[in-house]
């Protein structure tokens, strides 16, 4: 499989997660390893940004070890178009579990893809992890 090229990162560019903040003030510190997401939603947003940037290392590192796959391969021609958070349940700074429902849009070879998922997150030793998800509807 050809190695995926990472898009150039511009810390002062809008964050791909759609928060409206610059990457350096949003998901950048999480992906760069200088801080941890404080909430399940912040982790969800940073994982979307990791997909945009082709960061399988971050995606695997933020996946709960007992549910994490041994390998993760991303579609090299996938163009991510946007993230919409639909709902959150728990997942705050004082919680140990949370859920985030989202829709992520992308395109592969001109074909639009809409991923609607309800993701589950767990906080272990103060750090949020993606557990798994289901696909409503």
- For the chain, what are the domain ranges? 23-134
What average pLDDT does the chain have?
93
8-39 tens-digit pLDDT: 456 678 999 999 999 999 999 999 999 999 99
105/17 Cα distance (integer angstroms): 11
pTM for the predicted model, two decimal places: 0.91
137/131 Cα distance (integer angstroms): 20
37-77 tens-digit pLDDT: 999 999 999 999 999 999 999 999 999 999 999 999 999 99
Structural fold of domain 23-134: Nuclear Transport Factor 2; Chain: A, (3.10.450)
Let me know: does 136 contact 101? Beta carbons within 8 Å.
Answer: yes
As a 3-state breakdown, the chain gives helix, strand, coil percent values, each rounded to 5, of 20, 35, 45
pLDDT at 6 (0 to 100): 47
């Amino acid at each position: 499989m050809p190695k995926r090229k990472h898009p150039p990162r511009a810390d002062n560019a809008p964050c791909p997660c759609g928060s409206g903040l610059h990457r350096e003030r949003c998901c950048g510190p999480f992906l760069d390893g200088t801080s941890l997401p404080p909430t399940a939603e912040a982790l969800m947003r940073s994982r979307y940004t990791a997909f945009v940037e082709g960061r399988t290392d971050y995606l695997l590192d933020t996946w709960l070890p007992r549910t994490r796959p041994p390998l993760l391969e991303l579609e090299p021609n996938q163009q991510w178009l946007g993230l919409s958070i639909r709902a959150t349940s728990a997942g705050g700074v004082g919680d140990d579990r949370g859920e985030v429902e989202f829709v992520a849009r992308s395109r592969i070879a001109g074909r639009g893809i809409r991923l609607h998922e309800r993701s589950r997150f767990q906080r272990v030793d103060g750090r949020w992890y993606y557990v798994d998800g289901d696909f409503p509807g």
